[in-house]
Structure 1
């Protein structure tokens, strides 16, 4: 009888020890953090624009699911990404590719390697295009 009581006590200890009131750690996605837009290329006109680090900043906030863009570019570039503002974002996960979605609209395929993020508007979950832009951002 004492053995059954001891087993119940041990099971209760293990069950209670496995429960925790701590919240689960915040999940970070691959784009989380602050990025600087360094170059934009492509489009119908075939542009190739480079920008100074710090002129165009994209801040992805994983917790809130928002992208804050600060665009201080005054170079007169034909295309310099997104205008200053706050956008809702999410990452669509495909079989072999992830895609950035802003304000519920798919923008393009993303590739993150080390401290570089490439956003390819020619690569979407519905297929590929030819007149989109390729944006390169660095941390």
Structure 2
């Protein structure tokens, strides 16, 4: 009888520790790859800027945790995302929401739907705002 109790106890330990899911890792994998920034909207002035696909490219390297931005936008847009450069990034998870952090600064909530990535600066781990920007990127 004692052996059955030990086996049950060990089985429960295995179930609760060996079968965990890492949702932040899964979200990071979906984020990986190349994205083109096609729209930035919002802000205090209520802008709505469209960009040609391929003009502003963000490449997420999930292995190294780096983001490479090639910003070749020639317009006079108020906000066209990040300037050209290499950044470190991470994905933060709070409950079932995910947030992008670039160079230790939180950018906003990540919403990925098929081939579209939305970064919402109005939704952060600190709460919701009203005058942040919403960036839309596509594969």
Q: TM-score, normalised by structure 2?
A: 0.79
Partner of 2:37: 37
Partner of 1:48: 48
Deviations 1:61-83 (A, max 9, x none): 00110000000001111110000
Unaligned runs of 5+ in 1: 1-26
Alignment of 1:62-73 (within 5 A): 62-73=62-73
Partner of 1:128: 128
Q: How many residues of Structure 1 are paired with residues of Structure 2 in the alignment?
A: 114
Deviations 1:37-91 (A, max 9, x none): 0000000110000000000000000011000000000111111000000110000
In 1, the alpha carbon distance for the partners of 2:78 and 2:121 equals: 16
Across the aligned residues of Structure 1 and Structure 2, the Cα RMSD in angstroms comes to 1.4
Partner of 1:137: 137
In 2, the alpha carbon distance for the partners of 1:49 and 1:81 equals: 11
In 1, the alpha carbon distance for the partners of 2:102 and 2:58 equals: 12
Q: Which has the higher helix share?
A: 2
Q: Which has the larger radius of gyration?
A: 1
SS in 2 for 1:30: helix
- 1:105 CA drift (Å): 1.1
Superposed structure 1 runs of 4+ greater than 3 Å apart: none
Q: TM-score, normalised by structure 1?
A: 0.79
